[in-house]
Amino acid sequence: NAGVMQNPRHLVRRRGQEARLRCSPMKGHSHVYWYRQLPEEGLKFMVYLQKENIIDESGMPKERFSAEFPKEGPSILRIQQVVRGDSAAYFCASSLAARDLISNQPQHFGDGTRLSIL
């Protein structure tokens, strides 16, 4: 069973360009999460999506960042007009839907996309 697949592994962009990061969840997983890890810092939650719906975007910067998880295809994290401060590792995680509101399903992570802004 393949794990969470993220591509590209490394992405280099110049300031002002757009960055598109892709995430294919584990087979059967309908929940996707994006996290960002700035250099020498811990992982910070960005957004939580279910198929075609954004459930929690409390960690997303208000401008330039957007995420989607369409009915078909991978989840996409899009960063418009990138700046140097966007340089980071971006991790995607996926999980099964919970059986009920009380149970927990662990999130499984991909190996990330390392974004470098020149």
Partner 1 sequence: DAKTTQPPSMDCAEGRAANLPCNHSTISGNEYVYWYRQIHSQGPQYIIHGLKNNETNEMASLIITEDRKSSTLILPHATLRDTAVYYCIVRRPLNTGTASKLTFGTGTRLQVTL
In Å, how far are 13, 23, 99, 100 from 79, measured between CA atoms? 11, 14, 33, 34
Closest to partner 1 by CB, 14 or 58: 58
Residue closer to partner 1 (CB basis): 38 or 83: 38
Least distance between partner 1 and beta carbon 30 (Å): 12
**Residue 33: φ, ψ to 5°:** -130, 145
Least distance CB 81 / partner 1 (angstroms): 26
Q: Helix H segments across 1-118?
A: none
Handedness of CA 17, 73, 54, 87 (dihedral sign): negative
Q: Which residue number, 93 or 115, has a Cβ lying nearer to partner 1?
A: 93
* Shortest Cβ 111–partner 1 spacing (Å): 5
Residue 5 C-beta: closest distance to partner 1, Å: 11
Helix (H, G, I), strand (E, B) or coil at 85: helix
Q: How far apart are CA 31 and CA 50, in angstroms?
A: 5
- Which residues of this protein are in contact with partner 1, per CB under 8 A? 4, 6, 31, 33, 35, 42-45, 48, 55-56, 58-59, 91, 93, 95, 98, 101-104, 106-112
For residue 22, give both structure tokens. 């892709």
Nearer of residues 86 and 113 to partner 1, judged by Cβ: 113
